[in-house]
Structure 1
Amino acid sequence: MHDKNEMMSRPVVKKELVEYMRKELKPFSGKLGDLENYANEKGIPIIPHETAVFLNLLLSQIKPKQVLEIGTAIGFSASLFAQHLADGGHITTIDRFDIMIERAKNNFINLGLDGKVTLLEGDAADLLPTLEGPYDFIFMDSAKAKYYEFLPYCMNLLSVNGMLIIDDVFQGGTILHDEKDIPKRVRKIHRRLNQLLDLVLNHEALDSSLVPLGDGLLMIVKKEKVDFSYILKEIQ
């Protein structure tokens, strides 16, 4: 599978197992499967198949009513989530890249999902403070250096007992390296991801798990109300 995310060429699970999962896990059928195949053939970055299958199974059990996605890309993951919405459910997804927005809109129409999905155009840093929620499922797959900054908004918008999943938190395993050994161009990502993990994994108001699929999923359940607004002042 080709991907513009360089870390996907350094999966955190053994290469042979990744190949096995991508080959043996059941493919998606119909237009959703066509969209996934198209993205992979063209090297368009979407969640890898093993992650998509996991999320498909998870959401089929959760059946969320209100979903928020940060990072639409061409709309594959939102289209996947839309298969499992509760009756009357809706997805709000955010992206700032014009070419992705146009492709996603067309894909939502092609899959007959435009009535279930609202695509907000712009920077998540500007849009997140304007949302009201609550959302019972949030998926964040955007700029990795922004995850820590976006966490307070996500936690504020997430319902109690709701789930937040953050994609690509392992950076090909380099998340464990000393910062001085990290190339300067990605040190901010390294620092922010470590801050995120240090905070979330040990927080008493959150239940969390790490799943080594793709470049790593951080799964968080909000057990009670929590205020992380101090982060916004901290990073200014």
Structure 2
Amino acid sequence: MIESKIVDPYVESYIKALLPKEEGLLGTLEQYAQEHLVPIVQPEIAQYLKVFTQLVKPKSVLEIGTAIGYSGALFATVMQEGTIDTIELSEDMFAKAEETFDSLKKTVPGVAVTQHLGSAIEVIPTIEKKFDMIFIDAAKGHYKAFFDLCYPLLNEGGVIVSDNVLYKGMIATNLYLVRRKITIVKRMRKYLTFLSTHPELDTTVLPMGDGLAISIKKGGHA
């Protein structure tokens, strides 16, 4: 496992110790992810997304990378009403997420979740909707391709949230770079530069978790 250099480990441990313990479906999913080594958003990122979603108040979300449905369930729990479209490449993860969203219907009946199985590169062009928020949490080497496809689906004033953008700190400096990750690192650096200089976006990069980029599309409110 590659050690993260983004946040001082004492600071990270302290922040995590402050987080409330998840109960219900989200707590069950966290336990499942831990036991089965399934990557989900880190605890401090999950808490941030909860607060952020309350502020943005999206009614429609597109998620690229479903996994077991943890982040989708988190968004739905905060939203209470609206729609979520979520894309997953793995059939096994798709099936597990299906169980998650079936359970979610009992507690959050006001959010309609539509699952899409397949490559996001192929699925996104088939979606004919507009979204208030887009969450990118899939193959790190393809973020720019995902962005290019989904950006036309983003409403004015909408937000794109990109997770894992600092990748253990390797994006910031070659001092932390692992040779086998060079291609991913180069692509992510280009992606962050692209987001930060895009004329229609205001972007901030947060050094928390594995790095989070928040990009707001100018010209309205989500």
Question: What is the TM-score when the length of structure 1 is the normalising length?
Answer: 0.85
Query: What letter matches 1:52 in structure 2?
Result: A
1:215 partnered with 2:210: yes
Q: Does the Cα contact within 8 Å between 1:22 and 1:50 map onto a contact in 2?
A: yes
**1:137–1:116 distance in 2 versus 1, CA, 3 Å:** same
Q: Does the Cα contact within 8 Å between 1:11 and 1:215 map onto a contact in 2?
A: no
1:149 alignment partner, one of 119, 125, 145: 145
Aligned to 2:194: 199
1:111 partnered with 2:107: no
Aligned to 1:92: 85
Query: What letter matches 1:192 in structure 2?
Result: R
Q: Does the Cα contact within 8 Å between 2:121 and 2:149 map onto a contact in 1?
A: no
Aligned residues with identical type, % of pairs: 36
Question: What is the TM-score when the length of structure 2 is the normalising length?
Answer: 0.90
2:55 alignment partner, one of 39, 61, 67: 61
* Distance in 1 of aligned mates of 2:86 and 2:136: 10
Deviation string 1:75-126 (CA, Å, 9 cap, x unpaired) is 0000000012263x11000001011111110111123268621110000010
Aligned to 1:233: none
Q: Which runs of 5+ in 2 are unaligned?
A: none
Q: RMSD of the TM alignment (CA)?
A: 2.0
**For residues 1-236 of structure 1, what are the structure 2 equivalents within 5 Å?**
6-7=1-2, 9-85=3-79, 87=81, 89-112=82-105, 116-178=112-174, 182-183=178-179, 185-224=180-219
Q: Return the offset for 1:176.
A: 2.4
Runs of 4+ in 1 over 6 A off after TM superposition: none
Deviation string 1:1-59 (CA, Å, 9 cap, x unpaired) is xxxxx45x415111112112222211222222222233123322100110000001111
Query: What letter matches 2:193 in structure 1?
Result: D
How many residue pairs were aligned? 216
Q: Which runs of 5+ in 1 are unaligned?
A: 1-5, 226-236
